[in-house]
Homo-oligomer: A and B are copies of this chain.
């Protein structure tokens, strides 16, 4: 029953494994949709004259990374040191670790840099800049760091016009370390609604780092990299003057949250969870499947949007959504399929043993619950490969 039985080590198909042969629940990746999503953002970013530095935290897979990066060596963005190590082992050489560094992690950063990986870190305090400079001096290897800028108040970072803090960090860094540039993430754009709000979020994101870069340069400090990034702003920026690179992650797969924001349609969503029908509560209009929150994650990102998709949108095995059918509730290994409350949808006639595919609210969260992608192409049910993904720290 396992796809591995009939795939060779390189993932090449040696006989036709079909979705109906897979054990459930499992993760399915439509590589055709993924390729379209990658081409769409790559073309867009190239048209704006900047570099795309994809965030590999969404896929955590060498096969996906090689398709989404401009070259086999990068550039790339990661969210954990484990990702940095994993992708370094796979040959990636240009990486930003885009979560504020902790002091104890610097030894590992130096280790990776000694292996020839240009790994840069991110920070937003003088204290950490001093720690990076000290570790650089001690190791005889200047660690490059980007100063994180807070463009919309949603998380970490220095305010873009806080010259005092920016310069103090910059000056502390260059005492042995390397000031590589400035970086921001418009996390607030996930709450933006409508084209204009998204364009404004993109412009605010751009302006914040361009401002911060100007403050550093005016003081004689270097700032070669000016990095922005989030999937909503990457797809709505119309002018990236002053920016050198765009980071984005979820665009490679897309998900229902992105659909709700208006960045994609459900037909663009490249990953789904394959599940088997295990029961009915007919008088309640429920179909039970063997994919619960363990398979879908507990991300309920669409609950705050106009259309609440529950734990996901239910599709036929060929990837076509049933009208208004959602995974309305979930236990650890049980999912409850219902027609969306208040809609005109009707419950399909699914028998025990039938299979469905469920589109996720959040590709990063759902992907993290699985260890492999079962690769299909478009509406075909032939599984052409099995790609490993990793997790943990």
Contacts and interface: CB of A to CB of B under 8 A. Distances in A.
A280 B125 contact: yes
A25 interface: yes
A374 interface: no
A80 B295 CA distance: 11
A104 B274 CA distance: 14
A350 interface: no
Interface stretch (A28-36, A64-72, A94-102, A257-265): A94-102
Given A107-B1, A125-B279, A279-B125, A294 B25 contact: no
Contacts of A300: 298, 300
Interface residues of A, number: 60
The number of times this chain is found in the oligomer is: 2
A281 interface: yes
Given A128-B278, A332-B364, 9 more contacts: A1-B108, A23-B393, A79-B332, A99-B278, A99-B334, A100-B288, A102-B276, A102-B353, A128-B352
9 contacts: A1-B107, A79-B332, A100-B288, A100-B334, A131-B352, A153-B284, A155-B336, A156-B279, A368-B369
Interface of A: 1, 23-26, 57, 79-80, 99-104, 107-108, 123-125, 127-128, 131, 150, 153, 155-156, 187, 276-281, 284, 288, 290, 293-295, 297-300, 331-334, 336, 351-353, 364-365, 368-371, 391-393
